[in-house]
Chains A and B, each alone.
Chain A
Amino acid sequence: MIEVSKKCIGCSKCVPVCPFAAINMIDRKAVMNEACTLCGACVQVCPVQAITITREEGASRDLSGYKGVWVYVELSETGDKTHPKKIKQVTFELLSAGRRLADELGEELCAVLMTDKDQNYAKELGAYGADKVYMVEHDELFEYNTDIFSTVMVSLVTRHKPSVILYGATIQGRDLAPRVASTLYVGLTADCTALAIKDGLLLQSRPAFGGNIMADILAPNSRPQMATVRPNVMKMGEPVHGRSPLVVRESAKLDRSLRRVKVLERKIAHDAAAVKIENANIIVSGGRGMKTKDKFKQLEELSKLLGGVVGASRAAVDLGFKEKTHQVGQSGTTVSPKLYLSFGISGAVQHIVGMKASDVIIAVNKDPNAPIFNVAKYGIVGDAHEIVPKLTEALKKLKK
C-alpha cells in the first residue's frame, strides 16, 4: 500500500511524474486515487520522503477470491475501415490451452480485449472456448502502447482477480506482461512450452539455457499466475461456431497524457512474409553456406516446387541474402512447419530455438559437427550450394 505522511509539504512535484495520473492535491497534501499502481515514480521525486510504499509479504498475501483463466487478446498492428484489425492466431492457440486449464480448475475462461473499435470479436473468441469476454473499448486503445495497455490490464486484474493470465510471447506480449507482473508483484514465466494444473497451481514448463534444459515453474504465493507462450507452440482447437460468450464491457479512464512513448512512424512488411513463414507447412531455409545472394535465390524455386516458403538464418539476413521478414529464430520468427529443410545453416542457438519444434527437419551442412544436426531428424553432410540446384532439377523431373 502507499502512504503519504505528515511530512508532505504540498509541493506537487509528484503530480506530473505519476504515469497513471493517480495523484491529486487535496488540502495541500498529495492523495492517491485508485489508478495508483504502486509504481513508485512519486516516491523518487518527493523532496521530503513523505511517500512510502509497502508491499504485502509474499506468504501473507490473501489468495482467496482469485478465480478464472484469462487470455490476453492480441490484435494485428494495423487496420482501417475496410480492413479492421484481426485477432492474431496465437490468441486462439492460448484460448485452446486455457480452455483445458479452466476445465481442470472448474473455472471460467475469459478473454481480455482492448480496442478502439469492437468488430464483433466476441463471437470468434467464443468459438475458441471463451466463456466471457472483458471488452474495453476506448479511443486511446487505437494502437498498442505499454503505458496505456498495462494501466488497463492492471486495473482489470485488480477489479476481477483472475487466477491465471496467458499472453502470447510476441513482441507485444513480451512488452506488456513483464510490466504488469512487475506492477502487481506476481510471477511471470516466459515462453512456456507446456501448461498444466498441479495441486490447483499453474505448472509452467519452459526451456532454458538455449533449450539445453527444461524447467517446471510455479508461482504458489501470488496471483494471478502469469505466463507467456510463443506462437505455434500450443495446438489450436477446432472452432465451435454459434457459442456466444458473455460480454462484459469495462470502462477505462484514459487520456493522451498517459502515453509517454509516441509512435512517429510505422512500417508493416506488406508482403507479410513473416506471417507467411509463421504459418507455413513447408519451409526451405538457407544460411551463410549458400555463399552468395544469387545462389540463395535458387531456394525460391526449390521452395515453390515443394509448395513452401523461404526462410533464412540470421547470418543470411545480415549478409543481405534475404529480407529480415524471412528470418527464422529468436530475433526473427518462431516456426513449426511439417517440414523444415535447411541448407548451409550451422544452427546457432538463436536459430535453433526458432525452428526446433518443426515436425521433420532435414539439414544439409558441410560440417558434420554442426549443431543443427542435434535437432534434425535427417542430416546430410554436403555442400548446400551444390545440392540445391541438383535437388531442384530432380524435383522438376519428378513433377513431370
Chain B
Amino acid sequence: MHIAVMIKQVPDSTEVKINLETGTLIRAGVPSILNPYDHFALEAALELKKKHDFKVTVISMGPPQAKSVVQLALALGADEGVLLSDMAFAGSDTWATSYALAKGIKKIGKVDIIFSGMQAIDGDTAQTGPGVAQQLGIPQITFCEHVDVDGRRVLARKQIDGGHELQEARPPVLLTMIMGKDYAPKHPSFLAVSGSLKKPFHVWSAADIGAEPQYLGLKGSPTQVNKIYPPPQREKAAMFSGSGQESVEKILEIMKREHFTE
C-alpha cells in the first residue's frame, strides 16, 4: 500500500504575540515546528511502513521554508516528500487548502491511506482532513488514536464523545490522528538527517497539480478574516508564594473571598 501523510509547518503557538497597534501577528523570532498532531500521524504511518513495508509519502503546503518539516519527515523515515508552494495558495482558508492538497495527492498517484493530524495548533480547526477526504470522494475516520491494517481492512480506534469506537474501512480512506499514547514523536539521528537529503523531494506549483486559480488563495476561500485582535485580557494572576502552610491559608482565604467556602 501507499500512504500519504499531510503535514503542516506551524509557529510554536505558545510563543506567538500580537502587535497591538497594527493588530497583526508578530511571527519574527517565533520558532516553526512540525504541527504536533501531524507528528503523531507521521509516526502512525511509519509504524505501518515498518510492519507492512508500505511506502510513505509526505505532503505539505506552505511557503518555501516549509520544506524543513518535509525534510524532517524524510529524516524520520518517510520515503518521498512533496511541498506545494506557490503564491497562488496564499490566504487559502480550509476549503481552498483542502482543494489544493487533494489536487496534490491526486498527482502523487494511487494512494491507499491518507493520514493527517486531527488539527493544526495554529488554527485548531480540524477541517482540512475531512475537506480533503470529501474533495477526493473517499471516506474519513477522524479523531483516531490507533490504526492497524489487516489485509485490505483499515482498522482505527477512534474517540467519540464519551467513549471509543473501533471502526473499519476499505482503502482509500483518510484518517486524522489525535495525540494518543500509542505513538510517540521521535527525533531523527544525525545520520538519518544527512541520509534524508538523498530522498526524492518535489516542489509543485498550482499549475503542476492542475489546480484552478479561482479555487485558490483568498479568491477561492469562502471565509475571510475580517479583523484580528488581542483576546480580552484577563488580569494577571495575583501571585503568592510562601511555605506550604501559608499557601494553604492563602487558598482558603481566596475560596472564602470567592464564596466557595463559608
- A residues bordering B, Cβ < 8 Å? 17, 19, 39-42, 44, 55, 57-58, 76-77, 88, 144, 146-147, 150, 170-172, 174-175, 177-179, 181-183, 185-191, 203, 207-222, 260-269, 272, 274-275, 282, 306, 314, 318, 325, 330-331, 338-339, 341, 348-350, 353, 360, 362-364, 368, 371, 373-383, 386-387, 390-391, 394-395, 398
Given contacts A175-B143, A383-B244, contact A213 B127 (CB under 8 A): no
Q: Which of A146, A190, A213, A220 has the most CB of B within 10 A?
A: A213
In the A-B complex, the 4 residue pairs with the closest CB atoms = A41-B137, A187-B222, A210-B13, A381-B241
Q: List 23 A-B contacts (CB under 8 A).
A: A19-B137, A39-B137, A41-B137, A55-B215, A57-B214, A58-B219, A171-B143, A179-B133, A190-B126, A207-B124, A208-B228, A210-B124, A211-B231, A213-B16, A215-B227, A218-B224, A260-B173, A380-B240, A380-B250, A391-B251, A391-B252, A394-B248, A398-B261
With A182-B130, A387-B248, A398-B261 already in contact, the answer to whether A172 and B160 are too (CB < 8 A) is yes
How far apart sit A150 and B138, CA to CA, in the bound complex (Å)? Answer: 13
Given A181-B95, A185-B222, A390-B244, A216 and B130 touching (CB < 8 A)? no
Q: How far is the CA of A190 from the CA of B232 in the complex (A)?
A: 19
Q: Is the CB of A331 within 8 A of B223?
A: no
Give chain B nearest CB distance to A348 CB in angstroms: 8
Given the known inter-chain contacts A172-B161, A262-B169, please indicate yes or no for A217 contacting B224, CB distance below 8 A.
yes
Q: A44-B136, A190-B124, A203-B226 are in contact. Are A269 and B162 (CB under 8 A)?
A: yes
Contacts of A381 in B (CB 8 A): 239-241
Q: Which residues of B contact A171 (CB under 8 A)?
A: 142-143, 159-161
What is the minimal beta-carbon distance from A381 to any residue of chain B, in angstroms?
Answer: 4
Q: Give the number of A-B contacts (CB < 8 Å).
A: 285
Which of A190, A266, A368, A373 is in CB contact (< 8 Å) with B127?
A190
Considering residues A57, A58, A210, A395, which has the most beta carbons from chain B within 10 angstroms of its beta carbon?
A210
Is B151 close to A, CB under 8 A? no
Q: How many angstroms from the CA of A199 to the CA of B69 in the assembled complex?
A: 42
Complex contact B258–A360 (CB within 8 A):
yes
B122 touches A209 (CB 8 A): yes
What residues of A have a CB within 8 angstroms of the CB of B166 in the complex?
263-266
Q: Which chain B residues border A282 with CB–CB below 8 Å?
A: 260
B135 within 8 A of A: yes
| Interface contact A209-B13, CB-CB below 8 Å | yes
**Does B191 make an interface contact (CB < 8 A)?**
no
Give the distance to chain B from A307, nearest Cβ to Cβ, in Å: 9
Residues on B lying within 8 angstroms of A by beta carbon are 11, 13-14, 16-18, 25, 93-95, 98, 106, 118, 121-131, 133-143, 155, 159-170, 173, 178-181, 214-215, 219-232, 234-242, 244-245, 247-252, 254-255, 258, 260-262
In Å, the complex CA distance between A151 and B140 comes to: 14
Report which of B136, B159, B219, B221 forms a contact with A40, defined as CB distance below 8 A.
Answer: B136
Q: Which residue of A lies closest to B240 (CB)?
A: A380
Nearest residue (CB) in A for B235 is: A377
Min Cβ gap B90→A in Å is 16
Q: Is the CB of B241 within 8 A of A382?
A: yes
- In the bound complex, what is the Cα–Cα distance between A358 and B171 (angstroms)? 43
Q: How far is the CA of A268 from the CA of B159 in the complex (A)?
A: 10
Q: Which residue of chain B has the shortest Cβ distance to A184 in the bound complex?
A: B222
| Other-chain residue from A175, A208, A349 in contact with B123 (beta carbon distance below 8 A) | A208
Residue of A nearest to B250 (CB): A380
Complex Cα–Cα for A215 and B122 (A): 12
With A179-B133, A373-B237 known as contacts, the answer to whether A188 contacts B247 (CB < 8 A) is: no
